[in-house]
Amino acid sequence: MAPAAMPVIDGLSARALSEIFRLERTRNYLQPGDVRTALRLWKDYVRRPERQLWHDHEWGNVHWYCCGNPLEARALLDTVMRAMSSRSARELRQIISRSDAVWNRPSPRSSPVPQNRGARGTRRPGQDPAW
């Protein structure tokens, strides 16, 4: 029987990959390939359009039952980082932080906030600005 292939995650050293490989085979909450799948789910989810994210937030997403919940995937990545050595966890955290930065980015305003300028929205010359 041939040995199982090592997971490939861009940006991780061979040391971190071998640690993930070991964790996926020794922890009862992980299966081979779970970390790579969780990274992909989280990365793909945070890059979705904001309107789809709001829809998921309000109504849920039925595809999560078959294809994986990206929020649970992110929680799994936190658990894996706690189980890793500090050096390997730092490497994995650096990769995850790129997607977290997209997730935590403020949304652009669609229009400027209107100012209260009287009943019709305009201020007439000579009108008291505090009124």
CB contact at 8 A, 21 and 7: yes
Side-chain-side CA neighbours of residue 25 (13 Å): 11
CA angle 125, 127, 130 (to 5 degrees): 135
Report the candidate in 35, 30, 65, 63 with the shortest Cα–Cα distance to residue 48: 63
Distance of alpha carbon 113 from the chain centroid = 29
Look at the pTM and tell me if it is higher than 0.75: no
* pLDDT exceeds cutoff 50 at 2: no
pLDDT in tens, 46-99: 887 766 665 565 556 655 666 778 888 999 999 999 999 999 999 999 999 999
